């Protein structure tokens, strides 16, 4: 998995490309923990170029959501591909985390 980090209107945007699986999940968690630890109030994870999301990836996202909540921050997912969106919906993540279709929408949540 490849990640690109950008600051955007006071939020941190992390764009994920490739596969979020058991190999990539720990790296994502560590990177996001550092961001949330630096008083990031809003972390937007852009899934528009993510090809695959495994159960380990879901677990990482859930752990990050819990961490963000504990630190009074927000984790927002945006732009999931249809396949990734289906996984998020089937696993109930659409009821746990805010998921926006477009980045512009994520910035207003």
pLDDT in tens, 50-100: 999 999 999 999 999 999 999 999 999 999 999 999 999 999 999 999 999
DSSP assignment of 26-95: HHHHHHHHHHHHTT-SEEEEEEEEEEEE-HHHHHHHHHHHHHHHHTT-EEEEE---HHHHHHHHHTTHHH
Domain positions in the chain are: 2-106
What's residue 10's pLDDT? 85
Q: Which class is domain 2-106?
A: alpha beta
């Amino acid at each position: 998995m490849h990640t690109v980090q950008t600051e955007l209107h006071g939020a941190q945007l992390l764009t994920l490309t490739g596969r979020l699986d058991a190999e990539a999940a720990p790296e994502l968690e560590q990177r996001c923990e550092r961001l949330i630890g630096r008083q990031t109030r809003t972390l937007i994870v852009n899934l528009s170029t993510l090809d695959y999301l495994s159960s380990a990836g879901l677990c990482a996202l859930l752990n990050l959501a819990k961490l963000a909540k504990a630190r009074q921050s927000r984790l927002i997912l945006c732009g999931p591909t249809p396949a990734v969106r289906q996984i998020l919906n089937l696993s109930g993540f659409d009821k746990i985390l805010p998921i926006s279709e477009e980045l512009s929408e994520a910035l207003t949540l």
